[in-house]
Each structure stands twice: as C-alpha cells, then as structure tokens.
Amino acid sequence: MENLKAKGYALRQDVVNMIMSGKGGHIGGDMSVMDILVTLYFDQMNISPENQNDPDRDMFVMSKGHCVEALYAVLAAKGFFSIDEVIEKFSKFGSQFIGHPNNKLPGIEMNSGSLGHGLPVAVGMAIAEKMNKKGARVYVVMGDGELAEGSVWEGAMSATQYNLDNLCAIVDRNRLQISGTTEEVMHQDSVEKRFESFGWNVYSVDGNDPKALKEAFEAAKTVKGKPSLVVANTTKGLGSPVMENKASWHHHVPSAEEYEQIMKDLKEREEAALHE
Amino acid sequence: MNKIHNRQVICDVLIEHAKDDKDIVVLCSDSRGSASLAGFAKTYPEQFVEVGIAEQDLVGISAGLAKCGKKPFAASPASFLSTRSYEQAKVDCAYSNTNVKLIGISSGISYGALGMSHHSAQDLAAMSAIPNMRVYVPSDRHQTRYLIEALLKDEKPAYIRVGRNPVEDVYTEDNCPFEMDKATVVCKGSDVLIVACGEMVKPAFDAAALLAKEGIKATVLDMYCVKPLDKEGILREAKGARAVITVEEHSPFGGLGSMVAQVISANDPKKVINLALPDAPVITGTSQEVFDYYGLNAEGIAKTAAEAIK
C-alpha cells in the first residue's frame, strides 16, 4: 500500500492553494474527507482516466458536494485533469471548476451540491450494477450534517430492500457543521445504530487513517446481502491547529499569515507521515 | 367514447419494447396500480423497481440507474412527482443530464374531489423552468403511443404528463400525424388560432366545429411539446389570425399560455387570451364538472374565441 497518509497531506496543500486562488471553498470538510477520498481512489476503486467510460468501472458519488476541492485534488492526482489548471481557474469567471461536482468534467459521474441526493442515486447505480452483473461497486460519501436530510433515509431503506451488498456508503463524521456541532444542531451520535436498525452492515473507524479505512472497505466487500456503511470518524480542518475542529472554518479563506502557517504544518505532517 | 386511458398506452408500449430492450426499467412509488403499470411489473419483474411512497428516492434511484446505462421510466402522481421530488428532477436528472423519463400520472385536476394536495396545476411551469428538462403533454392515446416510442429513442431527461381518465380520441389509429417536438395541426382555419395541450385539445377541436357554425374559421394546434415549445409552428399558424386562444389544465401562470404569449408578443403582436384553471384551489367535482365550471369546454372555448375577434 502506497503511503496514503503522506499523499493526503500533500493533496491538502493543493486544496489550500485552490481556495486561496478561488477566494472561497469548504476548507474544513475538504481536510476531514481527504483520507477517505485518497483511500478510495488510490487503493480501492477501479477507476482511472483510462477506464472512465467502461461499463464495469466502480462508481463514485460525492454527496457532500461542497467538498469538491478535495475531490478535484484527488482527481487531478489520478490524472483526470491538471492540478495547475484547477488552481488557476477554480471558481473564476467562466471556469469549469465550479464549487460543486459537475459531470461535464472527466472523472465526475453525478452533479451534486444540494445535500441528501447522493445515497438514492448510489442505490440506483447499485441496482443497475446488480442487473448488469459486472461486479462493479458503488461508493458514496456523505457528510454527517447531511444526515438530517430525509431523502438519506429513503435511500437507506431501499438499499436494504434490494440487498445491495455492492454499495458502500461513507459518512465523514467530523462532528461539525456550519452552525456548530452536529450534536447541537441535529444530533447524529446514534448514526451507527440508526443504520443498523435499517438493516445495514456498519463499521466505525478512524476516518483519517487510510489503513483503518482500507480494512473497513475490504471487510465490506465480503459481506453478502446487505449494504455497508463506514462511519469515518474524522477531524474537521485536519492538517493544522489553525483550522482544526473549528466550525468557523467550514467555509473560510485563510489570511496570508494563516496560509503560511497552514502550509508549513501540512508540509511537516506530510514529512512526518513519510517517515512513520 | 374511448375507454383506454393514456397511462395504459404507456404501459403497453413499454411492455412491447422491454421484451427486446433489457435496459428499460420501470419504477413506481406504490403507484403501479394508479399508473396502470401493474401489467409491466408482472410481465417483467426483473425490470421493475418499487421504491415505496418515496418520490425523492424514486427520482434519485432513476438517475443512478440511468447513469449506469439503464433507461428508467419513473411513474408517480404528477402532484407529488413535480413538487416533492422537484429538486431531484432538477439536479439528478436535468443538471446531471441523465436519461430519466418522469411520468406524471393523474395530472392536473384528475383527482377531482381529493383536493389541491392531489392536483398538479403547477407542473408545466415548474418543470419547464428547469434547464435541460423537456415537458410533454400528449392529448390522446394515439399521440401518447407515438410520443413514448419517440422518447424511447433518445437519451435525455423528460417529464411526461398524462391524466387519470380515458379521453376521447383526437386522432385515429390510421391518422395521427406526429413529428417529435413539432406541434400537430388538428384543423385549419384563418380567423383564430387555438393552441391547446393534453385533455384540452379535444374540447378545442370541438370548439372549432361550434365556431364553424357561426362562420368563424379556427386553427387548432395540439402543442403536446410544451418544452421545447414549437415556436415556428405557433408563428406559422398565428399568421393572419385575428387572435390567439390558449387552453390548458394548469395554473394561469407559467404554463402553455404564458409561453405562447411570449412568442406572439415578441414576434407577431396580437391579442392572446389564456384559458386556464384559476389561481386558487378548484371547485370540488369530477374533471368534466370542473372544466365545465371554468369554461374549459367546447362551449367556453368557442365563446372566448368568438368574443376575442369581435
């Protein structure tokens, strides 16, 4: 397994540069979700620029679409487009690289942005893959604040109705949303039990540890007859104390000083991860 | 009187094609009976997906199926499909450009006495306002067949609206002119143009006969393609007419009438009168009773047309 932890810290630097350039972005969630995306794209999913149109490719839906900067960084690292172009054009006038996923770009299957859409869409994909019998798997990443959307639970119900063992949903459980902690805004602490009661197979792991995530994803593949949920317990803003665990950094552009400190911290953590 | 409703025709066409096209998938939200799709579910259970009473899930799942190469037809009462899952129609279907065909059944005021919660008098306006969403309102069973056959051949999202009750034929099996996205001229007359869609086409046609008795010649244009609106057809048929009357089973705002008025006012200004449902919960009754009450019948249309060109 490649050193995915170090890769995550390297790609977080791309994200920060994107947000500085575009003067906007959901930096806190980008930092929490990064290790989930890195593990999926560089260790788990059968998806690349070469096979992006193959019917048997694995499918991915970024339901928490506001963290598109992290997805752009990962897709660029996979070779779908150039990171320099993303950083230069992100959120600028006329740019294709807008603030939510758009499937006019290579590597992006579905447009998202409004929350609560991804799980039903992923259920549809998983039903189709069962019909197609190609063995493809479907992954969808949701935020924890997103779980307040009722459509998530419609999707959760249908996923077990159709025994979708080819579906793996991930919740980026960073415990913060724009107005404060999830527990203050709308409590989610029983998320594991909630999904279990809907008939799902559930894992709860350190969502910023690629090894723990990999283990959960591998285990999910062996489960038959029901969908799996990986509750990825993460730290919002992970990478620098300047932004870690601060609800105010849900959407925030660093000042020049904050930028220097964050980049310094990210480089140090990347370096440390390389020598772990 | 024809006893075959348009929704039954949709089921028949889909069953015919599903035999050879295994990518056709029909989805219902506990609506297979009211959509007349129980026959499909029984014939091709492996190509049928039931989602329960969950319209957002219905449309989201359809989009996911389409993304993986399927050709989903999602049927649910128009009142719920066009509002409860409006955002899924916008984001998952239109914006993501997935090949989802949304079938709004029991549309308009089909559900009569069940009240405004079950009426869809806003769906044409709402769906038309979404970029990349097409809106079709077939008038009779023959046109419905041609429309569904045409929609099976393309790969873009669309909203199709059909009523609950069987409607009288406008066309015949042997004579149903149909060109995709081109309005059908039902009859020709130089004095007044009547543009109608769905269940209003037949009364508009009957109104033309009543007008003829008074010596007024009317063209009736069946605008089953509300979006993309056949602008050329409107302007071609409006040329020389002294007034344009629009007729629709819809709110007076943002539907067929508003769209036709936009085209006429910009290109060939003349009087345009919109006949529609009121901007209010409609009076209790069957569809026909309600149409009669608001003048959405042959007599009412003829009266409006005659007055318009006085």
Percent of chain A with pLDDT over 90: 98
Split at pLDDT 50, 70, 90, the class of A236 is: very high
Q: Which residues contact A5 (CB under 8 A, 6 or more apart)?
A: A35, A209, A210, A273, A276
Residue A276's pLDDT is what?
84
State the span(s) of chain B assigned CATH 3.40.50.970: 6-161
Chain B hits for A158, Cβ within 8 Å:
51-52, 54, 57, 61
Phi, psi of A173 (to 5 degrees): -90, 75
Phi, psi of B243 (to 5 degrees): -160, 160
Residue B250's pLDDT is what?
98
Q: How far is CA B173 from the centre of its chain?
A: 20
Q: Residue type for B38, please?
A: A
Q: Per-residue DSSP letters for B177-232?
A: --BTTB-EEEE--SSEEEEE-GGGHHHHHHHHHHHHHTT--EEEEE--EEETT-HH
Residue B103, helix vs strand vs coil: strand
Chain A hits for B88, Cβ within 8 Å:
117, 120, 151
Report, as an integer, the average pLDDT of A102-115. Answer: 97
Report, as an integer, the average pLDDT of A68-84. Answer: 98
The domain segmentation of chain A, as residue ranges, is 2-274
Q: Which fold has domain B6-161?
A: Rossmann fold (3.40.50)
| Count of beta carbons in the 10 Å neighbourhood of residue A193 | 10
Token pair for residue A105? Answer: 């770009």
Among candidates B61, B95, B97 on the partner chain, residue whose Cβ is nearest the Cβ of A124: B61
First-last CA distance in chain B: 34
- What is the full per-residue pLDDT of chain B (310 aa) written as tens digits? 777 899 999 999 999 999 999 999 999 999 998 888 999 999 999 999 999 999 999 999 999 999 999 999 999 999 999 999 999 999 999 999 999 999 999 999 999 999 999 999 999 999 999 999 999 999 999 999 999 999 999 999 999 999 999 999 999 999 999 999 999 999 999 999 999 999 999 999 999 999 999 999 999 999 999 999 999 999 999 999 999 999 999 999 999 999 999 999 999 999 999 999 999 999 999 999 999 999 999 999 999 999 999 9
Q: Residue type for A2, please?
A: E
The verdict on domain A2-274 having CATH code 3.40.50.970 is yes
Nearest CA in chain A to B61: A124
Helix, strand, coil shares of chain B, percent, nearest 5, are: 40, 20, 40
State the span(s) of chain B assigned CATH 3.40.50.920: 184-308
Report, as an integer, the average pLDDT of A154-182. Answer: 97
Closest CA to A69 of A109, A96, A104, A29: A29
Count of residues in chain A = 276
Split at pLDDT 50, 70, 90, the class of A57 is: very high
Task: For chain A, give the mean pLDDT.
Answer: 97
Contact B60 A126 (CB under 8 A): no
pLDDT above 80: residue A1: no
Predicted complex: ipTM over 0.85: yes
Task: Give the A-side interface with B, CB within 8 Å.
Answer: 55, 59, 61, 103, 109-114, 116-117, 119-129, 131-132, 150-151, 154-155, 157-158, 161-162
Nearest CA in chain A to B56: A151
CATH class of B184-308: alpha beta
